[in-house]
Amino acid sequence: LGRRFARAGAAFGYPMLSLLLASSPSFTARPLPPPRAHCTPDVLMAAVFIDGEAGTTGLQVRGRLSTRDDIDLITLPEESRKDPAARAEAINKADAVILCLPDAAAIEAAALVAADNDRTVLIDASTAHRTNAEWAYGFPELSGAQRSKIAASKRIANPGCYATGFISLLGPLVGAGAVRREARLVTSAVSGYSGGGNPLIAVYEGAEHEPWGAYGFSLSHKHLPEMAAFSGLDRPPIFMPAVGDFAQGMVVSVPLHYDSDLEPAFAEGEGVGERLHAALAAHYADEHFVSVMSLGEEAWKEEGLLERGAFLRPDALNDSNHLQIFVYCNDAARTCVVAARLDNLGKGASGAAVQNLNIALGLDERTSLE
Give every CB contact of residue 253 below 8 A, 6+ residues apart in sequence: 187, 188, 189, 337, 338, 339
Instruction: State how far the Cα of 183 lies from the Cα of 200, in Å rounded to an integer.
Output: 34
Instruction: State how far the Cα of 324 lies from the Cα of 168, in Å rounded to an integer.
Output: 10
- Under DSSP, is residue 23 helix (H, G, I), strand (E, B) or coil? strand
For the chain, list the strands marked E by DSSP: 17-23, 46-51, 71-74, 96-100, 121-124, 136-137, 155-157, 186-192, 212-214, 238-244, 250-257, 290-292, 323-330, 335-342
End-to-end CA distance of the chain: 38
DSSP secondary structure letters along 119-146: S-EEEE-SSTTTT-TTSEES-GGGSTTH
* Amino acid letter for position 182: E
Do 321 and 351 form a contact (C-beta atoms < 8 A)?
yes
Residue 322's H or E segment, with its range, is none
- Under DSSP, is residue 189 helix (H, G, I), strand (E, B) or coil? strand
Give every CB contact of residue 77 below 8 A, 6+ residues apart in sequence: none
- Enzyme catalytic residues: 161
Do 244 and 192 form a contact (C-beta atoms < 8 A)?
yes
Phi, psi of 81 (to 5 degrees): -65, -25
Instruction: State how far the Cα of 107 lies from the Cα of 126, in Å rounded to an integer.
Output: 9
Instruction: State how far the Cα of 325 lies from the Cα of 314, in Å rounded to an integer.
Output: 12
